[in-house]
Structure 1
Amino acid sequence: MRPPPPTCWPGPMKSTGSASWLATHREASLSTESAHIAVDCGAESSRVMVVQLDRQRRSAVLHPITRFPTRSQQRGEGWFWCWQEHCQAVRAGVEAALQRFPQAQSVAVDTWGVDVVLCNQSYQPLADPRCYRDPRGARGQARLDGLCPRPQRFRQTGCAQLPINTLDQLSALALEEPELLANCAHLVFLPDYLSGMLSGIWGCERSIAATSSCTLPGAEAWHHELLATIGIDSQLFAPISPSGRILGPLLGYPHCQVIAAAGHDTAAAIAALPGPAESTAYLSCGTWSLLGTVIDAPALAPEVAAAGFSNEAHWDGRIRLNRNIMGLWILQQCRQDWLAAGGDGQQLDHAQLDYAQLAQAAAQVADVAPPLDVDDPRFLAPSSAEQRMSDRVSAWYQEQGIAPPTSPAETTRAILAGLAQAYAQALTQLQHLSGRRIECLVLLGGGGRNELLRQLTREACGIRVEIGSSEATALGNALIQSHSLGQASPEDCWAYARKARTSS
């Protein structure tokens, strides 16, 4: 039986009176076009899009439906996602998508990694989920270090040992909130929760499980002993299922299937590469940047761990060897500071602090500061009144004995140059660790729209840089849905990615 929908899901959506899924699926199989709803949740903003695929032309058109902020709040010393608000926005977006595209055959959700919802027996949240930037992850990591050394944890899981990892968060939970843990019947990753909310079917998809550092290498099963070491029963997690599992019909819309495509947004984005991944590296650039390539089996050598690389799950069953890099997070947080302070004391309006305008101004900077070390841990926590991100950037330069940037344009230039430098370093490491010569770097996601970042990355890496879809995550999400329905092969997915466009 399906448990009742959680309280933040007010109930089944109003049906359009469509035919059964089987009849609709038969009709769709005779058509050359299909439509799929992609719910793509990022750590700064989220969107619902409908992706129309033309199988005859092997082309894709992405239709933006709704976009909404992904909000977190500081409560005491902790950071929490505004989860009920987020769930309601997802529901509204899916409803809006079905009003415009009632023929949509399927829907799937992707989000950022590592964070979980603690639920009771009926899958109702016990509290808003903690944000991965919550400082207690570091305390959980310190506890873990005393129980199981980091090199051993890497061999056991294949994951880079970061304080944001689910394992580290759960270590802190067991230590600091044992009563909340005692009341928890289910630990559910965010995309699995949203999929369960939409379908009433609860599970755990492989690509999102692979971000947790709680699984065996390759993320096909939980690491029961490691979880037990920190006081977590692995039975709180659902069994891991392959990417692309068809869960069941959308509540209230029997013709539209909910699919656990690739719950991790990076895994979804890589499905939108415009060609095979063997001699290609990808750079998925958003709030986080992830640089990597696809390999056949987990890479567990000590030098992989030393370089900070993780073995994560590719949607087709293989492994993505990639490294987390800070991404546009620092710039996003500095921009919030500048907006709140009127441009850091300058008379700048919102238009001048638009990302495109900031990049244009940064490209004109004459006195260029040295690149910022974007991987410095001080930049992980969100900006606050007590510790503004822009002040942390200035402090880093002062500690190096260097005059800090003095304007938003100069700071933007320093951040983007720091990202390009980090990408080049990671690319060199990746070629060594994978034993491959990387001939091309494909930029996916919103960062690819930043012309200055593209230029700096090309100069720093010294290889061919191609631009993939700026909406690669939503596109890849939909392509995996189509593959699950038997409508697209991997070769078809490459073709769709090469001929994808976003409607105005």
Structure 2
Amino acid sequence: MKTESATYYIAVDLGATSGRLILASFDGEKISTEELHRFKHPMLPIADHLFWNLPGLYHEILTGLKTAAEKLNSLGAKARSIGIDTWGCDVAYFHADGTLAGLPYCYRDPHTTGAVDKFCEDMSKETVYGKTGIQFMDFNTLFQLYTIGKDQGNALHNSDKILFIPDALAYMLTGEAVTEYTVASTSQILNPTTGRLDDELLARIGLSEDRFGKLVNPGHRIGSLTP
């Protein structure tokens, strides 16, 4: 039931195998939540690789947003904001016209096995850790992009923008490309000392900062939903 002081918010919560859309309200004293839409999104095994069905995730989010809109309309209310939370490390590639350049790899795909040691043949682990300060894992974004670049991956080389999964979904909803700081912190590309993506690490994998969205802090207003 709507109260005059209540404000409403929509949360999109995506895990590695399922997702849900939640409507939250705050009446000045208490936060209440209601799950409006829950769905499964299995990894897609294609040609001995694992991918994420990003168009499928987008479709499920739209389904949940329509349900939320119906609920809010029945309350005579509007949502203040929508937030998207997903896992880290994985990225999607987009052409300049906003279309998706292939399906994004899943971090569980084995194509990066051994990538840390290969990358660190030319740049020491001490140097990489000193720049990023995070745990070494083969599926960190740095090593995904390094592996795909060496394999001449067309999606990477032919794309205009590289966006982390929550930022990719926000881009599909708003048309605005950003790189949110906390999800970038999982990548082993972000340098917390400078607060930017590290130029030397990017150069090592043949990329530059302008291939990514504008770096923004948590809570940044990305944009408005497109029609």
TM-score (norm. length: structure 1):
0.42
Residues 45-80 of structure 1: CA distance to partner in whole angstroms, max 9, x if unpaired? 10000001111xx21111100001122112222110
* 1:48 aligns to 2:46 (yes or no): no
The verdict on how the C-alpha distance between 1:164 and 1:175 changes in structure 2, with shifts beyond 3 A counting, is: same
The verdict on how the C-alpha distance between 1:178 and 1:76 changes in structure 2, with shifts beyond 3 A counting, is: closer
Task: Quote the residue 1:96 is aligned against.
Answer: 67
Note the C-alpha offset of 1:36. 0.3
3-state SS, counterpart of residue 105 of structure 1: strand
CA distance in 1, matches of 2:101, 2:165: 14
Partner residue of 1:142 out of 110, 117, 128 = 117
* Structure (1/2) with the larger helix percentage: 1
Task: Quote the residue 2:105 is aligned against.
Answer: 130
Note the C-alpha offset of 1:178. 4.3
Residues 7 and 80 of structure 2 are in contact (CA less than 8 Å); yes or no, is this contact kept in structure 1? yes
CA distance in 2, matches of 1:121, 1:139: 32
Task: Quote the residue 1:87 is aligned against.
Answer: 58
Task: Quote the residue 2:40 is aligned against.
Answer: 69
| Structure 1 residues 332-411: aligned runs within 5 Å | none
Task: Quote the residue 1:449 is aligned against.
Answer: none
TM-score (norm. length: structure 2):
0.91
Structure whose CA Rg is larger: 1
* 1:181 aligns to 2:181 (yes or no): no
Matched letter for residue 119 of structure 2: L
**How much is the aligned-residue C-alpha RMSD, in angstroms?**
1.7
CA distance in 1, matches of 2:116, 2:152: 16
How many residues are matched?
Answer: 221
Residues 344-394 of structure 1: CA distance to partner in whole angstroms, max 9, x if unpaired? xxxxxxxxxxxxxxxxxxxxxxxxxxxxxxxxxxxxxxxxxxxxxxxxxxx
CA distance in 1, matches of 2:96, 2:46: 26
Task: Quote the residue 1:207 is aligned against.
Answer: 182
Note the C-alpha offset of 1:239. 2.4
Overall identity of the aligned pairs, in % = 27
Note the C-alpha offset of 1:174. 0.5
3-state SS, counterpart of residue 195 of structure 2: coil
Task: Quote the residue 1:453 is aligned against.
Answer: none
Task: Quote the residue 2:171 is aligned against.
Answer: 196
3-state SS, counterpart of residue 249 of structure 1: coil
CA distance in 1, matches of 2:120, 2:152: 19
- Runs of 4+ residues over 3 Å off in structure 1: none
* Structure (1/2) with the larger strand percentage: 2
Residues 147-169 of structure 1: CA distance to partner in whole angstroms, max 9, x if unpaired? 21222211011111111100010
**Unaligned segments of structure 2, at least 5 residues:** none
Task: Quote the residue 1:237 is aligned against.
Answer: 212
The verdict on how the C-alpha distance between 1:232 and 1:219 changes in structure 2, with shifts beyond 3 A counting, is: same
CA distance in 1, matches of 2:4, 2:222: 23
Residues 158 and 218 of structure 1 are in contact (CA less than 8 Å); yes or no, is this contact kept in structure 2? no
The verdict on how the C-alpha distance between 1:133 and 1:49 changes in structure 2, with shifts beyond 3 A counting, is: same
Note the C-alpha offset of 1:224. 1.0
CA distance in 2, matches of 1:156, 1:182: 25
